[in-house]
Structure 1
């Protein structure tokens, strides 16, 4: 039983280390909930912990990458970090919305790593939000045990809209790092 939990943790951790195109963690939780005897509350907590750990490590990887960026991009990212730090109320509201959002989180953690924002509050909010959202998915999955989850899982990985969203988020990450935030924020 402990090995099953460890394998589950490692799968979710690995998926959340992927910078893009990983299957959503909720789908792994649903698959495990439908195909194993592991209790759903444990899957939700372990899944949320593994997802938060993976995203935290992903952000740290991008933090290391930030040192290799061109100087202009470093200045832009530093100005973005400073702007986020000046508007604490907006940052807290945004963090709360992000925590409960179904939007792909990889690129948000990549941006957090590049801008060198404090990762612990960011990751903690992500963990709490994922416990809530994964609980909803896992409980819902208990009610659809008879349906074909394999087809639903395959559709989530090959959905053109999902792929386009991942590509758009990656493009947005690159575009945001190119903006001269210092210049734009000084005007305001």
Structure 2
């Protein structure tokens, strides 16, 4: 429930990997259960977040909706490249909320998008959970707890929100047409 709730947050939630690590450090829950439950809850939360932003899309100006539609069309034309980029992103520890918010606003098909995210999270959460269980008795657990209020983590969240706003302001039809409107 914690992972699901955090992944419903549009910004400033603790990174899910840190919750995975905390469960690995502080519980006797089987590692496989931590990984599967965490990845499924993260994917469901992000899927729901994208749908919520899809519903909010009607409230943004038509010019921005047109730009997002152009970005979606380009992504759908190059499915392989888009899924590869999503897979790499899903493996990274970067915040994913803004990616799913943009996907929702752009009306990207979310099932495949979320499935790629889920697979990527299975891999990355496996690394975090196995690492956490192997260092359970060391002092690094205290250091992980301090990361919730890290200025770097907060700065990354702010930058990702700014990137989402910038994404919506780009004239994608013009950019993707090579300057031809």
Alignment RMSD, CA only?
1.3
1:153-173 deviation line (CA, Å, top 9, x unaligned)? 22x222111111110010000
The structural deviation recorded for 1:137 is 0.7
The TM-score with structure 2 as length reference comes to: 0.93
Encode CA deviations 1:116-174: one digit per residue, 9 max, x unaligned: 101011111111111111111111112211234243222x2221111111100100000
Matches within 5 A, 1:87-106: 87-106=78-97
Residue of structure 2 in register with 1:67 after alignment: 58
**Which residue is equivalent to 2:41?**
50
Once residues 142 and 9 of structure 2 are traced to their aligned partners in structure 1, the CA distance between those partners, rounded to angstroms, is 22
Write the mapping of 1:1-188 to structure 2, written as runs, cut at 5 A.
Answer: 10-148=1-139, 149-154=141-146, 156-187=147-178
Whole-angstrom CA distance in 2 between matches of 1:66 and 1:129: 27
SS at match of 1:28: helix
Partner of 1:6: none
Q: Which whole-Å CA distance do the structure 1 matches of 2:70 and 2:160 have between them?
A: 21
Structure 2: gaps of 5 or more residues: none
Counterpart CA distance in 1 for 2:70 and 2:32 is 41
What SS does structure 1 have at the residue aligned with 2:177?
Answer: helix
Moved segments of 4+, more than 6 Å:
none
Displacement of 1:98 = 1.9
The number of equivalent residue pairs is 178
